[in-house]
Amino acid sequence: MSEITVSSTNWLAISLRNDTGIVFNLNDIQQWQHLKPVTASSPSNEVTSTPTVNKQQEKTEDDDENTNELNRNLIKFTPDGQKLLINGQNKQIYIYISSYDENTNTYWQLQRIVTIKKRASAFDVTNEILLIADKSGDVYKTDLLTDTSVVLTADDCIMGHLSMLLDIAFITTDKNQQFILTADRDEKIRLTHYPNAYNIEGFCLGHSEFVSHVKLIDQNHILSASGDGTLRLWHLPDCRELNFFETKTFLSSFKSLSYGSSSSDFVNNNNEVPLDSSPINYSVWNMDLVSPDLIKSDMKNIFIALSIYAYRNHTIYLTKLSNLEKTINEQCKLTFNSKYGTIIDYCFSTKELISNSQCNLFILFDSNILLKLNLISIFSYDKNEIDENDSVISTIINTKEFNFMNNITSNEIIFKQLFKMRGDPGDSAYYKRKNERIEQQEEKRRKKQVSKQFQEKVAINENV
């Protein structure tokens, strides 16, 4: 599905089909640009040039057509907002740099392309490096300070896992220790030292299903979300669980708000699932949070938006971390009129753009509508309905007919496949693939050891 993100410099980006994207300057909506990494005839507000890519980039080592993976982690800005990265469908990551070109009237220029062996299942960026996790569990690193396109090889792989990676994050603790956080399908969150990725600090263990999201709160705290229907608060680097929250609580106690007119086509609660239904209904489908202070948070103003699988199409639950910790029933269930269509993605504005009166949540629908809601106002709202706010961005999106990735049905199928197969693990195709990966890892280690012993023998013979 298409994804949205907002930069620290107040640019909003949306990923589109065919490795393209669109960016808007939220300070001046008329400054927008359609990012296209292929050479084509197009209006002046479209990127039309592509850096030279050699033949090796055209066909990668893992050139399979398997798209059996969630289309997530598609687009991100660097923390300084100067670069935008789009995770393409063809095992390439496109890196754009903020640079105004008067001749073409464009604000972002395609700087370079990073080609990988397998399509990235997750990636994270600092201002200096790009970390790429793939579906086989490998993590690659490349430098962001160069402007040359590159094909990543095994030499660029800094660590591996025995399971598919679903999220990755780079964190620097209050003691200036640098770590890489990886969340996998096998319920684990791993904390690995950087740059010495062979040194594992520890694991955050507690989830009973795949870990789909890992979000940074501050330098020593993260919040994770899982298919087991829980959010868990962790302290780093000791990987200590501080608290956990079940999404079932959102179904039993909340303030219900409706967005849009209260007409007969409004999505109501008639399709709510009973509490004793399948656990998948309580699993976390999507989540985002924003922390005003990433250095040292007081845990009071951490805003959280999440979707539960059962109500993923039209409902977002809103709360604060302090509400969850104290089990205060101040969370809101925000349900949208069916005229907006299905929710594709949502994200908060960055911490640099938050004030005591403003904390915006941007919501993208498959009807080409983008809404902006101020959570400060929502939590203080005393009505059951919220007035609509027209968006200039929605008008531009509909006028230009941009192609969103709206593969919601296939994503739902793949999401279900992430859950463990109960019963004998040996009968599960997932466990068979996992055992094959373990055997491959052992074979690699064996060959490396044999090669090392051979080189040592050669060195001894040369010295004799």
* pLDDT tens digits for range 256-275: 888 886 544 444 444 454 55
Examine the pLDDT at 129 and tell me if it is beyond 90: yes
pTM of the model: 0.84
Tokens of 333: 């269930």
Examine the pLDDT at 58 and tell me if it is beyond 80: no
> Residue 222: which of 184, 183, 186 has the closest Cα?
183
Least confident of 18-22, 60-64, 342-346, 359-363: 60-64
Question: What residues contact residue 242 under an 8 Å CB cut-off, 6+ apart?
Answer: 221, 233, 234, 235
Please give the pLDDT value at position 33.
96
Residues paired with residue 259 on neighbouring β-strands, in sequence order: 336, 386
Please give the pLDDT value at position 48.
43
Site of tokens 């403003």: 358
DSSP secondary structure code for residue 46 in this structure:
B
Residues paired with residue 422 on neighbouring β-strands, in sequence order: none
Please give the pLDDT value at position 288.
95
Please give the pLDDT value at position 372.
92
Examine the pLDDT at 104 and tell me if it is beyond 70: yes
Least confident of 1-15, 154-168, 306-320, 439-453: 439-453
Examine the pLDDT at 92 and tell me if it is beyond 50: yes
Site of tokens 């009807």: 367
Distance CA 320, CA 145 (A): 37
Check: CB of residue 171 under 8 Å from CB of residue 126.
Answer: no
> Residue 217: which of 248, 243, 186, 192 has the closest Cα?
243
Average pLDDT value for residue range 243-260? 84
Q: CA geometry: angle at 406 spanning 403 and 412, to 5°? A: 165
Check: CB of residue 231 under 8 Å from CB of residue 284.
Answer: yes
Tokens of 88: 């393409």
Average pLDDT over the chain, rounded to an integer:
83
- What is the maximum span of the chain, computed from C-alpha positions, in angstroms? 91
Please give the pLDDT value at position 63.
41
Answer with the residue of higher pLDDT: 68 or 201: 201
Please give the pLDDT value at position 426.
45
Q: CA geometry: angle at 367 spanning 36 and 90, to 5°? A: 35
Please give the pLDDT value at position 357.
81
Please give the pLDDT value at position 64.
40
Q: What percent of the chain has pLDDT over 90?
A: 52
pLDDT bin (cut points 50, 70, 90) of residue 442 is confident
For residue 233, which amino acid is it? L
Each residue's pLDDT tens digit, 219-240: 999 999 999 999 999 999 999 9
Please give the pLDDT value at position 449.
76
Helices (H), 247-389: 248-252, 321-325, 375-379
Least confident of 44-53, 277-286, 392-401: 44-53
Examine the pLDDT at 44 and tell me if it is beyond 60: no
Using CB atoms within 10 A of its CB, is residue 427 exposed (0-12), middle (13-18) or buried (19+)?
Answer: exposed
Examine the pLDDT at 407 and tell me if it is beyond 70: no
Distance CA 22, CA 5 (A): 11
pLDDT bin (cut points 50, 70, 90) of residue 428 is low
Tell me how crowded residue 396 is: count the other CB atoms within 10 A of its CB: 18
Q: DSSP for 224-283, please give it.
A: EEETTSEEEEEETTTTEEEEEEETHHHHHS-EEEEES---TTS--GGGPPPTTS-GGGGS
How far from the centroid of its chain's Cα atoms is residue 424's Cα?
Answer: 32
